[in-house]
Structure 1
Amino acid sequence: MTVHFLHTSDWHLGQFFHHHEREYEHTEFLNWLLAQIKIKQPNALLIAGDIFDVVNPASSAQKQLYQFLTDAHALAPHMQTLMIAGNHDSGYRIEQVEPFLSKFNAKAVGVIKKTAEQRLDLDRLLVPIYDAEQNIVAWCLTLPYLRSAEITGISEETTNTQSAVAYLHQQLIVEAKARKQPDQALILMSHAHMQGAETSDSERPIVVGNEEALSTALFDEVIDYVALGHLHKPQQVGQPHIRYSGSPIPLSFSELNYKHQVLEVKIDPTRTDAQRFQCESLLIPRSVELIRVRCELSELMNELAKLPQDEIADLCARHFLEIEYLSDAPPPVDLRQQIEQTLPANRYRLLRIARRFQKNEDTNLQHSKIDLEPPTPEKLFASLWEKMGYQPDQDATRDFLQLLAEAQHELDQNKA
Structure 2
Amino acid sequence: MRLLHTSDWHLGQNFFGFSRYYEHQQFLDWLLNTLTTQNIDVLLIAGDIFDTANPPSSAQQQFYQFLCLAKGRIPHLQVVIIAGNHDSPTRLEVPTPFLNAIDMRVVGQVQRQQRGMDLEQLLVPLYHREGEIAAWCLAIPFLRPNDVPRVEDADDAYLAGINALYQQVTALAKSKRAENQALIAMGHCHLMGGEVSSDSERKLVMGGLETLSSHIFDTEIAYVALGHLHFAQAVGAAHIRYSGSPLPMSFSEMHYPHQVVVIDLEGNSLQRITPILIPRTVNLQRLPEKPAPLADVLTLLAQQDWPLVPEEQQTYLQVRVLLDKPEPALRHKIEQVLQDKAVRLVKIETSYPSASTTEASPLSLEDVSQLQPEDVFLRMYQQRYQKSPDNVLLKAFHELLTTNMADES
Under a length normalisation based on structure 1, what TM-score does the superposition of the two structures give? 0.80
Unaligned stretches of 5+ residues in structure 1: 364-386, 388-416
* Residue 348 (structure 1) aligns with: 343
* Residue 166 (structure 2) aligns with: 169
* Residue 293 (structure 1) aligns with: 287
Q: 1:307 aligns with which of 304, 309, 315?
A: 304
The structure showing larger relative contact order (alpha-carbon pairs under 8 Å, at least 6 residues apart) is: 1
**Superposed, which structure 2 residues align to 1:10-409 within 5 Å?**
10-115=8-113, 117-153=114-150, 160-200=157-197, 201-207=199-205, 210-269=208-267, 276-294=270-288, 295-297=291-293, 298-312=295-309, 314-331=310-327, 334-343=329-338, 345-360=340-355
Superposed CA RMSD = 2.4
Q: One-letter code of the match for 2:116?
A: R
Match of 2:121, SS state, is: coil
How many residues end up aligned between the 2 structures?
354
What CA distance in whole angstroms lies between the structure 2 residues aligned with 1:120 and 1:327?
A: 58
User: Percent of pairs identical after alignment?
Assistant: 43
The 8 Å contact of residues 126 and 133 in structure 2, kept in 1 or not, is answered as: yes
Unaligned stretches of 5+ residues in structure 2: 359-379, 381-409
The 8 Å contact of residues 306 and 343 in structure 2, kept in 1 or not, is answered as: no
Residue 210 of structure 1: CA displacement?
3.3
What CA distance in whole angstroms lies between the structure 2 residues aligned with 1:245 and 1:361?
A: 43
Residue 344 of structure 1: CA displacement?
6.2
Q: One-letter code of the match for 1:299?
A: D
What CA distance in whole angstroms lies between the structure 2 residues aligned with 1:135 and 1:143?
A: 23
What CA distance in whole angstroms lies between the structure 1 residues aligned with 2:262 and 2:357?
A: 43
What CA distance in whole angstroms lies between the structure 2 residues aligned with 1:67 and 1:296?
A: 46
Q: One-letter code of the match for 1:63?
A: Q
Q: One-letter code of the match for 1:151?
A: V
What CA distance in whole angstroms lies between the structure 2 residues aligned with 1:311 and 1:340?
A: 17
Report the more deviating stretch, 205-214 or 182-191. Answer: 205-214
- Larger Rg, first or second structure (1 or 2): 2
The 8 Å contact of residues 41 and 79 in structure 1, kept in 2 or not, is answered as: no
Report the more deviating stretch, 64-73 or 13-22. Answer: 13-22
Quick one: structure 1 residues 303 and 132, their matched pair in 2 at CA, closer, same or farther if it must change by over 3 Å? same
